[in-house]
Amino acid sequence: MTVRLWYPPLDVYDAVRRMAALLASWKVRPPVRERLYILDFYFANPPLLHRTHMPDEVRKAFNSLHIVRPEKTFLSYPSPPILFQKMAEVQRQALQTLIGKGLIDLGSLASGAVVPSIIGRELFDERMIQLVPEGEKLLLEFLTSKFAAIGEDDIFGLRRSTGLRRLSQ
């Protein structure tokens, strides 16, 4: 019998769930694709948030979540940029699925922002947010309110903070 370990960061269906939850909970200016991808990366791999640079008040909020450091977890993580690039195709497919189902507003997407459509907002608020386990809700709140605000004016601040960059959209 062959046994395979399920790794949520590389699962398209879990990426759809994570992105929908992020969009349903978003507190700051609507994200561009790369910002959504970066936040999804940390939603899927929260221990790697320890390796980012954050302003003091954001770091204090993060520390209150008591997320285990990557060195003390069962998994061994590759460097964040390598894992971020490995997740690229999965994230692209997940966003394309949301777009294809009519859950993302195409007008906003054309101008660069990833915003749920009217149907998407309704579905994300009513159904998808229920798929977030209680243990992830505090992390989701942190990511969409505090962490998403890093470099809110442009993507460069978030790139500097995380060391992550997606060259192709």
pLDDT interval class at 50 (50, 70, 90): very high
Is residue 168 one of the residues assigned to a domain? no
> Which position has the higher pLDDT, 169 or 145?
145
Domain count, the chain: 1
* For range 61-74, the mean pLDDT: 90
Estimate to the nearest angstrom the gap between the alpha carbon of 105 and the chain centroid: 19
Q: Please, what is the average pLDDT of the chain?
A: 90
Tokens (6 digits) for 80: 């964040």
Which range is most confident: 74-78, 111-115, 151-155? 111-115
**Residue 142 in this model has a pLDDT that exceeds 90:** yes
The boundaries of the domain holding residue 116 are 9-162
Return the higher-pLDDT residue of 100 and 78: 100
Interacting residues of 36 by C-beta distance below 8 A, sequence separation 6+: 19, 22, 23, 95, 114
pLDDT given for residue 40 in this prediction = 97
